[in-house]
Every structure is written in structure tokens, then in C-alpha cells.
Amino acid sequence: MKTFKLSIRIRFKEGILDPEAEAILSALNRLEFSNIKSVACDRVFRLELEADDANQAIALGRKAAHDLLANLVMEDFEVELAS
């Protein structure tokens, strides 16, 4: 078993309204950032886990995201091995 570090990024699916991101966008636009056209607030989980190899680590990360970390009705996720 080796230790791996994973980064799991959760983001709203296309078309899901995110009022928080909209509020941040309008605040940015009120400052000198009128050229910023969109904002998305993603969420990143950083995990350390033990696995036989990188593929198994990623598979475990995907299962954790699927079962708990993301709500698949409204969110998508990406799992990456952290360097």
C-alpha cells in the first residue's frame, strides 16, 4: 500500500443557478472589474489515502465523491492525483 494525495473538485452542473456566485460577480463588477463576465464557486476536497496504485486511489476517490462528497443531482466532480 502506498499513500496518495487526491484533489476532488466539485462544481455545479451547467444550468444550475448559483446565487452566491452571481452575488460575487456583481460585487466584482461594482469594483474596477467590469470586464469579469462570469464567476463559479467550486469546492475542492484534498484527501490522503492508501491504495495499491494510482488507479485504485482514483477509483476510491471517485466512489467517495459519488457516494457522499457531491450531490449528483446538481453537481459534477473531477478527481485528480495531486503532485
Partner 1 sequence: MQSWAVLQFPGSNSDHDAFRAASRVPNVRVDMLWHDQPIEKSKYDVIMIPGGFSFGDYLRAGAIAKLSPAMGSLLEAVEAGAHVIGICNGFQILLESRLLPGILQVNKGLKFISRMEECEVKTEAFPWFAKEDIGRKFRFPIAHRFGNYQVKDLDRSEMQPALVYQNNPNGSFQSLAGIYRKLGKGSLFGLMPHPERVSHSDQPAHDGIDLWLQASKRLAA
Distance CA 47, CA 7 (A): 6
**Count of helix runs (H) and strand runs (E) in the chain:** 2, 3
Mask for 8-37, x = binds partner 1 (CB under 8 A):
--------xxxxx--x--------------
1 contact partners, CB below 8 Å, separation of at least 6: 50, 51, 52
| Cβ distance to partner 1 smaller for residue 29 or 56 | 29
Say whether residue 54 binds partner 1 (CB under 8 A).
Answer: no
Which positions touch partner 1 (CB under 8 A)? 16-20, 23, 68-69, 71, 73-74
